[in-house]
Amino acid sequence: MVGDMTIATWPVVGRRSVVHAYKPGESSAAEGPFRTLRVHAWASSGVRVTRRAGGRLVGQMTIFSSLNVESARLARNGNPDAAERVAHAAAQLEAGPEFVWLQRILSDLPGHDAKRVVDGVLPDDAPAALAEALKAVARRTEQLRAGELILATLAEVIAGRIAEVHEGYVLLVRVSGPAAMVPRWMAVAAGRDKVGELLALVMDKLDDASAVVEAVPAIDVDGDVGAGVFSPFGRGDMRVRNLTQEDQRLLAGEPQPLRILVPVLIEA
């Protein structure tokens, strides 16, 4: 948590992310690995979303619960039973009211915007309900993830909000522990390279000497920046280094002229 925030990895993914978790280093567009996951019930079928352009139907895309990434990792690490359980939980989530709500909203967006949402980008003109639907899916995802203790041993996740942006790196104020420096090119690839944006680093262990480190978009599950009186001089308050969306809107507004009142003594 940052302040009173709960930050989680982005709750929806495309098929490429699932395949990448199962076969890191191989082409994530390959059909074979995903077919293997489906045959063994290590991945859900996903949810179809209608894509539109200019008011017309132009095709469909399939989105998945991010729990499929976890089940693919379990399968890769030789835990088929756990992989099947998590994939089943993903299928239940995709059939639940939170995912149905999200699917309906995505279907009303232009096709390009719907794809961007899956990649972790909210369009500027997106309806407010979209963010709420994503948070609802994220909350349910975290509830289901908490029920599988083995997931905590698969990968280490460092999540937080970007507090500083430099030429070569961004500074991530973590959910817990000290701030972390993340190569800027990784933040750019995740679509999270601006102050105030939420980012997560996922360190997926391959063996005792190597791991896959991936930067992925993150989301504030609760949308609650924190309660209480905030002081920019309170160095013990993590919000000193944590710009919220409300802060960004305020700072992006028109600057007000500086007014200085000077007392004048008028002698009779």
Report the DSSP beta bridge partners of residue 213. 203
pLDDT for residue 206: 85
In a domain, 259, yes or no: no
Q: Please identify which residue in the block is written with the tokens 């979303």.
A: 49
Residue 223, domain extent: 7-251
Q: What is the 3-state secondary structure (H, E, C) of the chain?
A: CECCECEEECCEECHHHHHHHHCCCCCCCCHHHHHHHHHCCCCCCCEEEEEEECCEEEEEEEEEECHHHHHHHHHHCCCHHHHHHHHHHHHHHHHCHHHHHHHHHHHCCEHHHHHHHHCCCCCCCCCHHHHHHHHHHHHHHHHHHHCCHHHHHCEEEEEEEEEEECCCEEEEEECCCCCEEEEHHHHHHCCCCCCCCEEEEEEEEEECCEEEEEEEEEEECCCCCCCCCCCCCCCCCHHHHCCCHHHHHHHCCCCCCCCCCCCCCCCC
105: in domain: yes
Torsion, Cα 174 175 176 181, to 10 degrees, reads: -10
Question: Is residue 2 a part of any domain in this protein?
Answer: no
Residue 106 lies in a domain: yes
Tens-level pLDDT at each residue, the chain (268 residues): 444 578 999 999 999 999 999 999 777 778 899 999 999 999 999 999 987 666 677 778 999 999 999 999 999 999 999 999 999 999 999 999 999 999 999 998 887 888 899 999 988 888 889 999 999 999 999 999 988 878 878 888 999 999 999 999 999 998 678 899 999 999 999 999 999 899 999 999 888 888 889 999 999 987 643 333 444 544 444 445 555 556 666 666 677 777 787 777 777 6
Alpha carbon dihedral 67, 133, 243, 260, in 10-degree steps, equals: 180
For residues 137 and 183, give the distance between their C-alpha atoms in angstroms, rounded to a whole number: 29
58 located within any domain: yes
This model's pTM is above 0.85: no
Residue 267 lies in a domain: no
For the chain, what is the domain count?
Answer: 1
Residue 268 within a domain: no
Paired with 8 in beta bridges are 219
pLDDT at position 264 = 77
